[in-house]
């Protein structure tokens, strides 16, 4: 069970590749899909390796991706960012 989950805001992505490169567990790769601007957004290729560290989110210059921690079975609150 992955500790984290990645969310992608497809339409904001400009395929810079930062998230793919700097994910410490290599969860991501650029997909072959296109967004409406013609960019290939990332997709998750190894979801089980995601720790929810949100380094992808910190690197993304377009605010187009972020990682969140998946709540453990004991605490059913939703995972989410601050505020």
Nearer to another protein, 21 or 48 (CB): 21
Q: How far is the CB of 31 from another protein (least distance, A)?
A: 14
End-to-end distance of the chain based on CA atoms, in angstroms? 26
Q: Which of residues 48-77 bind another protein (CB under 8 A)?
A: 54-55, 57-63, 66, 68
Give the residue among 83, 5, 3, 1 at the shortest CA–CA distance from 44.
5
Among 2, 16, 40, 51, interactor with another protein by CB under 8 A: 16
**Nearest to residue 4, comparing CAs of 47, 39, 44, 46?**
47
Q: Measured from the CB of residue 57, what is the shortest distance to another protein in angstroms?
A: 6
Q: Which residues contact 75 (CB under 8 A, 6 or more apart)?
A: none
Q: Where on the chain is the footprint of another protein (CB under 8 A)?
A: 5, 7-12, 14-18, 21-22, 39, 54-55, 57-63, 66, 68, 78-83
């Amino acid at each position: 069970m992955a500790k984290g989950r990645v969310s992608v805001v497809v339409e904001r992505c400009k395929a810079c590749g930062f998230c793919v490169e700097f994910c410490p567990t290599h969860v991501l790769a650029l997909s072959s899909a296109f967004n409406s601007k013609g960019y290939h957004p990332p997709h998750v290729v190894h979801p089980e390796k995601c720790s929810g560290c949100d380094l992808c989110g910190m690197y993304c210059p377009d605010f187009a991706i972020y990682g969140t921690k998946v709540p453990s079975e004991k605490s059913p609150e939703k995972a989410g960012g601050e505020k």
